[in-house]
Amino acid sequence: MNIKSYISRLLALVLVVVIGLVGCSSPSGLSGNYGQDTLTVIGTLTQAIDQPEDAPNKADIQSLARQQINDYISRYRKDTKSGGLRSFTTMQTAVNALAGYYTAYGSRPIPEKLKARLKQEFNIVELSLKKEA
């Protein structure tokens, strides 16, 4: 009986640790490093807007883009170090435009005018990150 009690407690402790670690991980691949996370999100969003309409993995990439947008904004919006940076405010403008388009139009093709604007804003963000570093 004593061994069973010890094993069940040990098993419960292991389960709590595993659940805690899995719950704290980021499914979107963001690391917590502002500069690196910004470049990761830009890469994913660029890939999402450049996908051809008949791409087999288009839905998966759009889903990842939405997840990264949500995680990125929720992580860095209230951060005093990154929240006031030009790179963040420009990035927030870009992701708001894309998220708004996904919400309003779903999986319809992204207009060329919006693609051009997003790419321009992504370039501004990358330049701002270099200056801020």
What DSSP assignment string belongs to 30-97?
--S-HHHHHHHHHHHHHHHHH--TT-TTHHHHHHHHHHHHHHHHHHHSS-TTTTTSHHHHHHHHHHHH
Mean pLDDT of 77-100: 88
The answer to whether residue 100 scores a pLDDT higher than 70 is yes
Predicted confidence band at 17 (pLDDT cuts at 50, 70, 90)? low
Q: What local confidence, expressed as pLDDT, does residue 12 receive?
A: 60
- The residue among 22 and 93 whose pLDDT is bigger is 93
The answer to whether residue 117 scores a pLDDT higher than 90 is yes
